[in-house]
């Protein structure tokens, strides 16, 4: 069997939904279809949730009505009138649940209520797609993803429980596949041990697809999106970025973790465990070959560097211990404070009694700064970005790090995290220079000059 996941960019409008239905219909193997909310819907739902509770008895917010209307308008493509009416009923019920949740809590909504609201996007889109598929003669059944995807209770960023999900998938999904039916469910959403709705973090439908693929022993996990595959850089930053035909699992994981939005970082782990290839394909151009992520790339097309990723919102902490402090104790104390504040250091470097590290911007940083300031001098620089070069070749080619640094001569670099046996080389730069740094590194690694230099060096086996 195969899992096909369609992101919001693939189901942004009616034309997109039609294309998706065509791709699902053309796949001859038993299949599970995982779909994200229509583009922009999760953002709109979370904005509604942030606006807070509504007054009982008042009409539901206009923004909610607009979202409902968007789905009702898309449902007009369904030819069978009875099926359309029953779908519309479900779409209204989902909106009704959002309205009730908004009314239920006075003031600020809890993380649990926010998840309840955010889940509406995938409930709407999956109901819609299942009905569209049936309307085209595909024997599709809709399942509530919350009954299949089991997670912990970390609302907003829940982690899947693979054992519980495997049990549920075997019980609830497999019998349909055995009968030749196509199972459609929403990505991104799940439920915790108490049955409360959870979400897997932004972009989490990729992760849903990978977990379901692993639980059902899929032969392939297909991630259908709006670009031709994983590219050498974000095409919004580097318009001439190229498709990478093959990536190792490690490269895809590191690119995703470093901010390449095309894949959620939680996608690769479940696939690696069962050695399932992950294909990234363009739903707007289904004939394009896309990218295949697997354990081993063919050596012949293995460039030293696979691609670049960029992440904004980095904050640099420089912590200087008082003169007579014991350095080991100082470092242990700083990392202890980080753990207490539940803040993860991304890049870190120690020079004498000066420890520098970067973290992602969050509201917890003020507290961290205060507690560190009690025993050390602390300087914080906000508005930075990390630009990361990823490639299996970095593990073995010591020239690459120095070469790359040279390409950034006119960029202010605050910190460099060299590969040190890993496949990543990261630069911390001003947020305003992130695009420039990405372009410079891209030109360096993927421009004509690099191709000439690379041709003179032996290729590295992946």
Contact set with ligand ASP (CB under 6 A): 7-8, 36-37, 42, 121, 187-188, 202-205
- Out of 121, 203, 290, 303, the only residue in the binding site for ligand ADP (CB under 6 A) is 203
147 interface partner picked from ligand ADP, ligand ASP, Mg ion, none, CB below 5 to 8 A per type: none
Dihedral over Cα of 11, 17, 19, 24: its sign? positive
190 binds ligand ADP (CB under 6 A): no
Give min distance, CB of 6 to ligand ADP, in A. Answer: 7
Smallest separation, CB 262 to Mg ion (Å): 7
Nearest to 205 by CA among 306, 92, 310, 123: 123
**Under a CB-based contact definition with an 8 Å cutoff, are residues 261 and 320 in contact?**
no
Helices 434-446 and 399-407, interaxial angle, to 10°? 130
Tokens coding 99: 């309205």
CB 394 within 8 A of CB 401: yes
**Residues between 273 and 312 that touch ligand ADP (CB under 6 A):** 307
| DSSP sequence for 364-397 | THHHHHHHHHTTEEEEEEEEEEEEEEE-THHHH-
Residues in a beta bridge with 5: 34, 223
Question: Pick from ligand ASP, Mg ion, ligand ADP, none: which does 37 bind, CB < 5 to 8 A by kind?
Answer: ligand ASP
How many residues belong to the site for Mg ion (CB under 5 A)? Answer: 2
Cα 316 from Cα 417, distance rounded (Å): 13
CB-nearest residue to ligand ASP: 205
- The item of ligand ASP, Mg ion, ligand ADP, none sharing an interface with residue 267, based on CB under 5 to 8 Å by kind, is none
Angle in degrees, CA 364, 252, 407, rounded to 5 = 80
Q: In whole angstroms, what is the distance from residue 425 CA to residue 158 CA?
A: 29
121 binds, among ligand ASP, Mg ion, ligand ADP, none (CB under 5 to 8 A by kind): ligand ASP
- According to the binding rule CB under 6 A, does residue 236 interact with ligand ADP? yes
234 lines the binding site for ligand ADP (CB under 6 A): yes
Question: What 3-state DSSP class applies to 454?
Answer: helix
Paired tokens of 189: 């959403």
Binding pattern to ligand ADP, positions 36-75, x when CB under 6 A? x---------------------------------------
Among ligand ASP, ligand ADP, Mg ion, none, the one that 227 touches (CB under a kind-dependent 5 to 8 A) is ligand ADP
203-232 positions binding Mg ion, by CB under 5 A: 203
- Least distance to ligand ASP from the beta carbon of 295, Å? 25
Give residues in contact with ligand ADP (CB under 6 A): 7-10, 36, 203, 225-227, 230-231, 233-236, 260-262, 307
């Amino acid at each position: 069997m195969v899992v096909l996941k369609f992101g919001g960019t693939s189901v942004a409008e009616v034309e997109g939904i039609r294309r998706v239905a065509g791709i699902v219909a053309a796949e001859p193997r038993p299949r599970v279809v995982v779909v994200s909310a229509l583009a922009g819907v999760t953002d709109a739902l979370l904005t509604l949730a942030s606006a807070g509770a509504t007054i009982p008895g008042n009409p539901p917010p206009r923004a909610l009505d607009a979202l409902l209307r968007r789905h009702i308008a898309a449902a007009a493509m369904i030819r069978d009138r009875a099926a359309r009416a029953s779908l519309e009923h479900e779409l209204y019920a989902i909106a009704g649940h959002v309205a009730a949740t908004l009314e239920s809590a006075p003031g600020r909504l809890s993380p649990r209520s926010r998840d309840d609201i955010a889940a509406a996007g995938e409930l709407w889109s999956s109901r819609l797609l299942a009905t569209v598929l049936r309307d085209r003669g595909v024997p599709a059944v809709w399942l509530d993803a919350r009954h299949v995807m089991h997670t912990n209770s970390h609302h907003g960023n829940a982690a899947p429980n693979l054992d519980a999900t495997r049990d549920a998938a075997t019980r609830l999904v497999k019998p349909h596949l055995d009968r030749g039916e196509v199972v459609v469910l929403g990505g991104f959403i799940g439920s915790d041990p108490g049955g409360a709705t959870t979400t897997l973090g932004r972009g989490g439908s990729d992760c849903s697809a990978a977990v379901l693929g692993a639980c059902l022993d899929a032969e392939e996990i297909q991630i259908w999106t709006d670009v031709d595959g994983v590219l050498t850089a974000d095409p919004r930053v580097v318009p001439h970025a190229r498709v990478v035909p093959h990536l190792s699992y490690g490269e895809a994981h590191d690119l995703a973790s470093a901010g390449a939005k095309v894949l959620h970082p939680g996608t690769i782990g479940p696939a690696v465990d069962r050695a399932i290839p992950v294909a990234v394909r363009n739903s707007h151009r289904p004939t394009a070959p896309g990218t295949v992520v697997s354990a081993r790339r063919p050596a012949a097309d293995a460039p030293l560097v696979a691609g670049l990723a960029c992440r904004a919102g980095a904050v640099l902490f420089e912590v200087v211990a008082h003169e007579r402090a014991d350095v080991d104790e100082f470092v242990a104390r700083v990392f202890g404070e980080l753990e207490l504040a539940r803040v993860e250091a991304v890049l870190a470097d120690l020079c004498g009694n000066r420890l520098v590290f970067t973290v992602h911007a969050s509201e917890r940083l003020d507290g961290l700064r205060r507690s560190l300031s009690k025993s050390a001098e602390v300087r914080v620089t906000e508005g930075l970005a990390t630009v990361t070069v990823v490639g299996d070749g970095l593990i073995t080619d010591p020239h690459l790090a120095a070469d790359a640094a040279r390409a950034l001569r006119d960029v202010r670099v605050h910190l460099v995290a060299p590969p040190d046996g890993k496949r990543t080389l990261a630069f911390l730069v001003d947020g305003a220079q992130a695009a420039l740094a990405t372009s410079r590194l891209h030109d360096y690694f993927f421009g004509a000059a690099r191709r000439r230099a690379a041709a003179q060096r032996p290729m590295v086996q992946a």
